[in-house]
Amino acid sequence: MKLGFFTANLAHLSLEEVARVASENGYEMLEIPSYIGNGQLDCDEIISGGAAGLKKMAASYGLGISALSNHADSMLILGCNEETDALFKGTKEEKIKYGTDSLVKSAQAANALECPVVNGFTGIANFGRYFPFPNGTGWAEQEKAFVERFTPILDKCMEYGVKFAMEPHPNNIIYDIHTAKRALELLHNHPAFGFNLDPANLTYLGLKVENFIDVLGSRIFHVHAKDAEVVEHNIQMGGVLMHGDWQRLDKSFRFRIPGWGDVPWKKVLTELSLVGYDYVLSYEHEDVTMSVGDGVEKVAAYLKPLLIKAPYEGRKDKIFNIPAGD
């Protein structure tokens, strides 16, 4: 496995400036935003000939590109209501088209960069429909829209030799193990569809990250290195879905950097290794208790010694090679 860096952590810097910071601190791969107006990468420029220059720049710092991230625009494909106006303001149809076109263009750019994965969300029109009251068919209607809107996108990903890694997260149609399995069923196990595993998002909902890995390991295409803390002394006052500013002192849940939260990283890395995942852990900073600068240093120092470099070879001595039944 390799340690990656999500360049949106330092969105105010140019891509080359971020590459320098990542390289100097021991990171090996970059995850780069590809949604429209991100300020670091323009898909049109990449598709029209800029890919070679970007790859050369990254390589000059000893870095590869693990994934493009279209989290912002892909939210519009199902989340085509007023709640996503801050991302793009338009009619339902305009939002769907905007998100779809942007995600497909990300797949084209990934192809040009020889990058195998595009990460993103699905969005959801009304997350409250996961609870069957007052509209008992509301979630089924979302499932129908999911299949209709994402199947053509996934077919395009196949055409470009790229996989779409959806990140399970609240306010998306996929947020836990059951909905992840259901999505694969609805899409008839489309080969271009899988997951960007973010352990923090699962911890937010009280799930065991290890279970997600064991059940869905073959469909994990990318992994975020992000931690989460259920603040025990606050949990009885607000519960994990408590509203309000993330920096509230009495907040019952906080995103953290790896090693500072509740995610059992040794167990997570063990399960990832056992299911054959040998790609990237991409550090994403959402820890409101410390600066990105703190995180850049601390995450590398904490995770690099834990990364599993190769799977177990098996014992070769005589006692471990007795034929079955003897």
Cα–Cα distance measured from residue 175 to residue 170, given in angstroms and rounded to the nearest whole number: 5
pLDDT tens string 115-144: 999 999 999 999 888 888 888 888 999 999
* Residue 102 · residue 70 · CB < 8 Å: yes
The predicted structure's pLDDT at residue 136: 87
Express each pLDDT in 36-94 by its tens digit.
999 999 999 999 999 999 999 999 999 999 999 999 999 999 999 999 999 999 999 99
CA-wise closest residue to 173 among 163, 183, 184, 185: 183
Give the torsion sign (CA, 211, 280, 185, 227): positive
pLDDT surpasses 80 at 271: yes
Q: What is the pLDDT of residue 323?
A: 62
Are residues 122 and 182 in contact, defined by beta-carbon separation less than 8 angstroms? no
User: For residue 191, what pLDDT band results from cuts at 50, 70 and 90?
Assistant: very high
* 169 has a pLDDT exceeding 80: yes
Place of tokens 């300020």: 39
Cα 154 to its chain centre, rounded Å, is 17
pTM (two decimals): 0.94
161 phi-psi bin (left φ>0, alpha ψ -120 to 50, beta other): left
318 has pLDDT over 90: no
Residues 6+ apart with CB under 8 A from 263: 199, 200, 203, 209, 227, 228
Q: Rounded to whole angstroms, how far apart are CA atoms 154 and 221? A: 14
Average pLDDT rounded to a whole number, residues 263-290: 97
CA distance 36 to 43: 8
Count Cα atoms within 13 angstroms, Cβ side, for 277.
27
CA distance 99 to 56: 29
CA 254, 281, 37, 87 torsion: positive or negative? Answer: negative
Looking up tokens 């569809």 gives 193
